[in-house]
Structure 1
Amino acid sequence: MQIVSDRVPAKRVFGLAVPALGVLAAEPLYVLVDTAVVGHLGALPLAGLALGGVVLSQISTQLTFLSYGTTSRTARLHGAGRRDEAVSEGVQATWLALAVGFVILVAGQLLAGPIARALSGSDDIAAAAVSWLRIALFGAPLILVTMAGNGWMRGVQDAVRPLRYVLLGNGISAVACPVLVYGAGWGLEGSAAANVVAQVVSASLFLRALVAEKVPLRPRPPVMRAQLGLGRDLVLRSLAFQACFVSAAAVAARTSTTAVGAHQIVLQLWTFLSLVLDSVAIAAQSLVGAALGAGERRQARGVAAQITGYGLIFGCVLCVVFAAVSQVLPHAFTSDPGVLGEVPHAWWFFVALQPVAGVVFALDGVLLGAGDAAFLRTATLACAAIGFLPLIWISLALGWGLAGIWTGLSLFMLLRLVAVVARWRSGAWAVVGAVR
C-alpha cells in the first residue's frame, strides 16, 4: 500500500480531469447542435451530414497520438524541469499536424466521392455527404493542430486554457451554424462552413499560445519521427477498437431493425460514459509522465494506484446510477416498443461493465503517461482478436443477438482488465527519465 506522500492532492487530479472532460464533451455537444439545425432541412441533408460526419470524425479518432502521445512526451520533460523542451514537443507535434492535415485535405478532396458512395449505397445521400465533406475537410489540418495543442498543454499541466479555446471555437460555430444554414441560405454547406469556423478559432488560439512561449518554431525531423513511432502504436490500437465496434454494428444490423436501434442507444451511452472516465485517464497521463520525468518512480506508482482507485469508484457509481434508471432512461431515446424490448439484452452488460471500464481506462491513462504505448497496442490487438471479434461473428452465426454482441464486448474488457492490471502490478512501465 502506498503511503500518503506518494499521492497527489485530489484537487490537483480533478483540476486536470474536469477541464479535460469539458474538452472531450465539447465536440459531441456541438454535433448535437449541428444535427438539430440541419435536421430541419429534411431527411436528405441530415443523412448527408451523418455520413460526412462519420468520415470526418475518423481523423480525430485515428490520430489521437497528436494529443495523447504529445501529452506523454511533454509531461516527462515538464516533470524534469525542462519546460522549453516540453513546449518544443508541442511545436513539433503542430508541424506534424499541419503536414498530416494537408495530406488528408488533398486526399479527402480526391476520394470524398468514392468513399461516400461506398458507404451510402445511395447516389443522393452520397452527393449530399460530398457537398458537406469537401468544405469541412478544410478544417482537417486545424483539427489536428487543436489536438496537438491539447496534448502539449496537458503535458505542462495547463488544462484550463484548452477548455476555453475549444469552447470559444465551438460556441462561435454553434451561433454561426443556423445563421449560415438559414440566414445566408447556404443549407447543408452552411453547416460545413460553420464547422470550419470552429476549427479556425480554436486552432488560432492554440497557435498563438505556442508562439507566446517564445521557443524555437523550426521543424525538427528527428523529434517528429519519434512522435510518429509512438503514433504508430496508438493508431494500431485505435484501429483495433474501430474493427470491434464496426463489427458489432454490422452484426446488430443483420440481427434485426429493433436490435440495431437498441444497440445504438446503449452504445452511445457507453461512448458518453467513456468520455467521463477518460477524463481521469488524461489526468493520469499528465501526472504519471511528470513524476517519471522527475525521476520519482515511487510517486508515479503511487499516483497510478490513486487514480486507479478513483476510476473504480467512478465506475461503481455509474453502475449504480444506470441500474437505477434502467426502466426510465431508454424511453428518452425511443418510444418504439420493439427497440425498448431489445434494450435490456445489452443494458445489463453495459451497467455491469462500468467498474471494469473505470479501472481499464484509468490504467490506460497511466500506461500512456508512461509512454508504454507498445504494450497497449499489443494488448488491445490481442484482446480484440481473442475476445471481441470471435464472439461477435459467432453471435451472428448462432443467432445470439445483442446478448452475444455485448458478451463479446464484456470479454474484450475483461481481457484488457487482466492485461493492464498485470502490467501495472509488474512496474515494468515505470521507466524514469525525461525521455523514453
Structure 2
Amino acid sequence: MPEASEPDERVPPKRVLGLAVPALGVLAAEPLYVLVDTAVVGHLGALPLAGLAVGGVVLSQVSSQLTFLSYGTTSRTARLHGAGRRGDAVREGVQATWLAVIVGLVVIVAGQLLAAPIARVLSGDAAITDAAVSWLRIALFGTPFILITMAGNGWMRGVQDSAKPLRYVLAGNGISAVLCPVLVYGADWGLEGSAIANVVAQVISASLFIAALVRERVPLRPEPKVMRAQLGLGRDLVLRSLAFQACFVSAAAVAARTSTEAVGAHQVVLQLWTFLALVLDSLAIAAQSLVGAALGAGASKRARGVSNQITVYGLVFGCFLGVVFASVAGVLPRVFTSDAAVLGQIPHAWWFFVALQPIAGVVFALDGVLLGAGDAAFLRNATLLSAAVGFLPLIWLSLAFGWGLAGIWTGLSLFMLLRLATLLVRWRSGRWAVEGAVRV
C-alpha cells in the first residue's frame, strides 16, 4: 500500500466521464433492446414471455460465458496502449475477432443440437420448451456476430476510443428495435419475429466493427501465439462466467418450476437487473481502460487513484438508481406485461432488486478495476466461492421448500454481499496493481 506521504494520483472527473458516458450507451443498448423485445413479446401473453425468458437465458449465458473476448481484450489492449504500443494493441483486437468467429461457429452447431434438451431441462413444461426452442434456434445464428461485437468493444475500449463503439451498437440495435414489432405483429411471426430481429441487430453491429479493424491497416492474419495468450487470461474469466451461468440458469429453472407467471415475472425483473448492472458497469469500463493504461505506463499510483474514484462514483450512482426504481415500482412493470398474474408475482423480486443497487454499484466498479489490472485469477476464485456458498444453496432450497421468487432473490442478495466482501479485501491490499505492458 502507498505511504501517506505519497498520495495516489487521480484523473480529472471529465476524463472518467468521457470514457464512461459513451460506454454507458454501448452497455445500455443491448439490454434496452432486450427490454423492448420483452415488452413486445410480453403483450402476446404469458406463454410467449416464458418462452423468451428461457430461450433468452440460454443465449445470454452462452455470450456471458465468453466475455473474455471483451474484458480480457480490454485488459491486454489497455496495457499495450499505455506503454505506447498502439499497433500491438489493435492486433489484440484482430486476434480476439478471429477467436470470436471460430467460437461462434462452434456455438451455432452445438446450439442447434442441444437447444431442445437444454430448454426442456430449464422449463420443465412442454409448452414453454416448444416456445423457447422456436426462438432459440433462430437467435443462435447471431452468436458469431455477438462475439465479434464483444471483441470490437474490447480493443476499442483498450485504446480509449469509446465513441465509435457507441455508434456501431446503436446502429444495429436501433434498426432492430423498430423491426421487432413489425415482424412480431405486422408480419404476424410472433415469437420467431423477435428472434429474427435480434439476429439482424448483431449482423449490423459486427460488420461495423470488422470495418473498423480493416481501417486500422494492421495485419489481419491469425496469430496463434497471441490467441493462446488471450485464451490463458480467458480461462480464468470463463470459469468466473461459469459461476454466473450456474446461478442465473438455476434461477430461471427454479422460477419455471414455480409457475408460468413466476418465470414471466422473473424475466421482467431480471432484464431490468441486467440493464442496470450494465449501466453501473459503464464506470467500470472507464476503470478498465484507465487502470490498464496506467499500469502499462508504470504508473501504479495513478491506477490506485482511479480505483478510489470509480468506487465512490459507483456507490453514489447505485444509491441514485435504487431511489429511482423504488419510486416507479407501481408503474414500470406494467410497461412489460399486462398479465395480472405476472404483475402479482413481480413484487416478490422487485424490492430485492431495488435494495441491491448500491451494493451492485461498488461491486461492478471494483470488478472493473481488477479486470483492468488483469487480476483474473482472483476474480475467478472470489466469484466461484460466492456462488457456491451464497447463491446456489438458496436457489435449490427455494425449489425444495417452495420459497418462490423471494427465495431466488434472497440467494442473489447473498451472492452480491459475498462478492462485495471479497472485492473490498483485495482492493485494499493493493496486490492487484502490477506494472508493465503485460501482466506477469
Alpha-carbon distance in structure 1 between the residues aligned to 2:23 and 2:209: 15
Which residue is 1:154 aligned to? Answer: 157
Work out whether 1:240 is the aligned partner of 2:266: no
Aligned partner (choices 360, 365, 372) of residue 362 of structure 1? 365
Listed as ranges, the matches of 1:135-150 within 5 Å are 135-150=138-153
Contact 1:2/1:302 (CA < 8 Å) preserved in 2? no
Which residue is 2:94 aligned to? Answer: 91
Listed as ranges, the matches of 1:222-241 within 5 Å are 222-241=225-244
Distance 1:301 1:9, change over 3 A: same
Alpha-carbon distance in structure 2 between the residues aligned to 1:111 and 1:396: 25
Work out whether 1:287 is the aligned partner of 2:294: no
Aligned partner (choices 22, 26, 31) of residue 29 of structure 2? 26
Distance 1:177 1:75, change over 3 A: same
Moved more, 126-135 or 150-159: 126-135
SS at the partner of 1:26?
Answer: helix
Distance 1:390 1:137, change over 3 A: closer
Alpha-carbon distance in structure 2 between the residues aligned to 1:255 and 1:93: 40
Contact 2:53/2:264 (CA < 8 Å) preserved in 1? no
Alpha-carbon distance in structure 2 between the residues aligned to 1:174 and 1:370: 36
RMSD: 3.2
Alpha-carbon distance in structure 1 between the residues aligned to 2:394 and 2:50: 31
Aligned partner (choices 387, 391, 404) of residue 390 of structure 2? 387
Q: Identify which of structures 1 and 2 has the higher relative contact order when contacts are C-alpha pairs closer than 8 Å and 6+ apart.
A: 2
SS at the partner of 1:428?
Answer: coil
Distance 1:108 1:173, change over 3 A: same
Alpha-carbon distance in structure 2 between the residues aligned to 1:114 and 1:257: 19
Alpha-carbon distance in structure 2 between the residues aligned to 1:43 and 1:331: 13
Listed as ranges, the matches of 1:400-415 within 5 Å are 402-415=405-418
Listed as ranges, the matches of 1:323-402 within 5 Å are 323-326=326-329, 329=332, 346-397=349-400, 402=405
Work out whether 1:172 is the aligned partner of 2:211: no
Moved more, 44-53 or 61-70: 44-53
Work out whether 1:9 is the aligned partner of 2:7: no
Alpha-carbon distance in structure 1 between the residues aligned to 2:41 and 2:338: 23
Residue segments in structure 2 that go unaligned for 5+ positions in a row: none
Which residue is 2:436 aligned to? Answer: 433
Which residue is 2:115 aligned to? Answer: 112
SS at the partner of 1:153?
Answer: helix
**How much does 1:434 deviate?**
0.5
Alpha-carbon distance in structure 1 between the residues aligned to 2:313 and 2:356: 16
Listed as ranges, the matches of 1:129-278 within 5 Å are 129-177=132-180, 189-252=192-255, 263-278=266-281
SS at the partner of 1:390?
Answer: helix
Contact 2:370/2:379 (CA < 8 Å) preserved in 1? yes
Deviations 1:27-63, CA, capped at 9 Å, x for gaps: 2222344455566777776665554433332332211
Alpha-carbon distance in structure 2 between the residues aligned to 1:212 and 1:135: 32
SS at the partner of 2:243?
Answer: helix
Which residue is 1:102 aligned to? Answer: 105
Amino acid at match of 1:92: Q
Alpha-carbon distance in structure 2 between the residues aligned to 1:33 and 1:328: 16
Scaled by the length of structure 2, the TM-score of the pair is 0.87
Work out whether 1:422 is the aligned partner of 2:425: yes
SS at the partner of 2:410?
Answer: helix
Alpha-carbon distance in structure 2 between the residues aligned to 1:2 and 1:320: 39
* Percent of residue pairs bearing the same amino acid type: 82
Contact 2:123/2:256 (CA < 8 Å) preserved in 1? no
Work out whether 1:307 is the aligned partner of 2:310: yes
Alpha-carbon distance in structure 1 between the residues aligned to 2:306 and 2:157: 16
Alpha-carbon distance in structure 2 between the residues aligned to 1:355 and 1:193: 36
Alpha-carbon distance in structure 2 between the residues aligned to 1:73 and 1:247: 32
Alpha-carbon distance in structure 1 between the residues aligned to 2:434 and 2:37: 44
SS at the partner of 2:100?
Answer: helix
**How much does 1:313 deviate?**
1.1
Deviations 1:208-253, CA, capped at 9 Å, x for gaps: 1101111111111111111112212112112212222333444455
Contact 2:169/2:205 (CA < 8 Å) preserved in 1? yes
**How much does 1:173 deviate?**
2.6
Alpha-carbon distance in structure 2 between the residues aligned to 1:191 and 1:264: 16
Contact 1:168/1:201 (CA < 8 Å) preserved in 2? yes
Contact 1:149/1:162 (CA < 8 Å) preserved in 2? yes
Distance 1:40 1:363, change over 3 A: closer
Deviations 1:2-22, CA, capped at 9 Å, x for gaps: 988711111211221122221
**How much does 1:184 deviate?**
6.4
**How much does 1:341 deviate?**
6.8
Alpha-carbon distance in structure 2 between the residues aligned to 1:360 and 1:36: 29
Alpha-carbon distance in structure 1 between the residues aligned to 2:184 and 2:332: 32
Alpha-carbon distance in structure 2 between the residues aligned to 1:181 and 1:306: 45
Moved more, 336-345 or 62-71: 336-345
Alpha-carbon distance in structure 2 between the residues aligned to 1:262 and 1:2: 53
Residue segments in structure 1 that go unaligned for 5+ positions in a row: none
Deviations 1:277-330, CA, capped at 9 Å, x for gaps: 111111111110110011100100010011011011112222333444456555
